[in-house]
Amino acid sequence: MITEILIAVVLVALLIKASIRPSNFPPGPRGLPLAGYIPFLSKLDPEYPHLGLKKLADQYGPVTGFYLGPSQPFISVCGYEAIKEALYNDDLAGRPNNAARRERTFGQRLGVVHNDGPEWQEQRRFTLRHLKDLGFGKTSSEGLIREEIDDLMDEIRLQSWRNQPVDFKGMFNLSLINILWALIGGQRFKRDDVRLARLLDIVDCFIHSANFTRANIPVPTIFLRLFPSTTRNFLGLRNDLFTPLQDFIRDRIQEHVTDRSDDEQRDFIDVYLQEMTKRQSEGDSSFHENQLIGVIIDLFIAGAETTSGSLGFALLYLLHHPEIQQKIQKELDQVCGDSLPQLAHRSSLLYTEAALMEAQRLANITPLAVAHKALRDTHLQGYFIPKESIVTVNLFTVHHDNEFWKDPEMFRPERHLTPDGRKLIKTDHLLPFSAGKRACLGEPLARNTYFLFMSSLLKAFEFRPIPDRPLPTLKPKNGLTLGYDGFEAIVTPRT
């Protein structure tokens, strides 16, 4: 009898402790004892987590707090002011750490996206510095990008022969991976390469089967060991899919080990292997083969999927707005003449640039930035944020802010131009690559690639909907990023 009473007292004490929030914790829903708000997450919005979290902000304010389970604080940040403060608060620059996330990189915290601390800083600095040396985001990479554009246009011409519809499903991914892989591994793949098509399918499946909010639930490591499939499906983190990609990258690394020279660094793998050799005497060096694989996987996912989505949505918006497509093409003809656009033309292609900015704003490929973590106790908008809190930044609420944009659901490039159309309006309310210490590492290359691909395609072709069919949907596929559904269009070479 005494034992039962003691157990009951302990359970009641745990329930009371689980229901007590720290002083000045952000307002938000209570959820259930022990389970917290986990049972209600999917009910906020069954399809799009960013819309569900926005509903909470509408009710509780721009900084909303609740618990996942009995002890994991989760902070949802919406609106420009709160988001700007969060992104530039170094105390919130960490990354969540759990077994399901580590599974992608051999059970360790590796790479440059899902890591933090001194090791992350060292790897990010090294990666960014040496990719820049190799032409990452510089005009020197323009020839490499142009090569992929030429191949893509050849494929479009082949598909559009005899006025047949062109299928844009997955059209851009291979081009973008080729650009990245030329810098990383010094190699280009043919567009019909079966191996790479399989790897791209893996990345796409991972991205669009993931659930952003459930991925942050603190499931114990033992659950992943005992019930791997159930745990992965529940969390929406299919990191087990990455085994073929890990093996592919490891094989390419071994090829570099056998034929590289210290006198010539052909690509990022060569540079990284040289650094590994230099640091062999350091017992705790962060430079090792698994780390290199983790960095490359991060670059693959961040580089290909987001830019591919931006290109697909930009074309979709122009199919829905042919008058804007015509304005862009008129400007391209005036500025570029008979030539394809170059980066040197960019400052003169103001309407083109404004339309591309508007497509990024409206498509909102990454509505929720990669989750942050509080590295120490801190404050946000006056509220107390406990150490280890998971913090999610809802960029959608900045890009679709009714007060700032007035008509955020409209595709209107003119909003990014001065009234006379002679200058671009640069605003920090446009954050397609996030901001702060955790801003996208690939931003310079992504901006150049996005501009050159879209401007070149619009200079060379006219894109029209298929007659007697509904316009292709603008409704995005959900996942870690928002993707476009495959669509077809009539493509006609411009004379």
Domain boundaries, the chain: 2-493
Indicate the length of the chain as a whole number: 495
355: left (phi over 0), alpha (psi -120 to 50) or beta: alpha
Sign of the dihedral through C-alpha 434, 443, 480, 91:
negative
Q: pLDDT band at 29, cuts 50/70/90?
A: very high
Q: pLDDT at residue 12 above 60?
A: no
**Alpha helices, H only, 301-442:** 306-320, 322-336, 350-363, 396-399, 402-405
**pLDDT tens digit sequence for 272-300:** 999 999 888 777 789 999 999 999 999 88
Q: What percent of the chain has pLDDT over 90?
A: 61
Contacts of 484 (CB under 8 A, 6+ apart): 309, 312, 313, 316, 363, 476, 477
Q: For 304-353, how does the pLDDT look when each residue is reduced to its tens digit (9 = 90+)?
A: 788 999 999 999 999 999 999 999 999 999 999 999 999 999 999 999 99
**CATH superfamily placement of domain 2-493:** Cytochrome P450 (1.10.630.10)
Listed residue (50, 13, 53, 75) closest to 388, CA to CA: 75
User: Residue range 397-423: average pLDDT?
Assistant: 96
Distance CA 215, CA 103 (A): 13
Rounded to the nearest angstrom, the gap between the alpha carbon of residue 144 and the centroid of all alpha carbons in its chain is: 23
* pLDDT for position 194: 83
222: tokens are 């033992």
DSSP 8-state code for residue 303: I
**pLDDT grade, residue 412 (50/70/90)?**
very high
Angle at the Cα of 432 from the Cα atoms of 332 and 232, rounded to 5 degrees: 130
Per-residue pLDDT band at 20 (split at 50, 70, 90)? confident
Q: Is the dihedral of CA 452, 458, 461, 467 positive or negative?
A: positive
Q: What is the pLDDT of residues 106-162, one digit of tens each?
A: 888 999 999 999 999 999 999 999 888 877 766 678 988 999 999 999 999 988 886
Percentage of the residues of the chain whose pLDDT score is greater than 70: 95
- Decide if 216 contacts 210 (C-beta within 8 A): no
What pLDDT, in 10s, does the model give residues 225-241? Answer: 777 777 777 777 777 77
pLDDT (tens digit per residue) in 76-90: 999 999 999 999 999
- φ/ψ of residue 7, rounded to 5: -60, -45
**Cβ(354)–Cβ(377) below 8 Å:** no
Q: Find out whether 134 and 272 touch, Cβ atoms under 8 Å.
A: no
Q: Which residues are annotated as a binding site?
A: 440
Question: Phi and psi dihedrals of 493, rounded to 5?
Answer: -60, 140
Which is nearest to 54 in space by CA: 392, 417, 352? 392
What is the average pLDDT score of the chain?
89
What residue numbers does the annotated binding site for heme cover?
A: 440
- Better-scored residue on pLDDT, 13 or 175: 175
Rounded to the nearest 5 degrees, what angle is found at the Cα of 46, between the Cα atoms of 42 and 47? 125
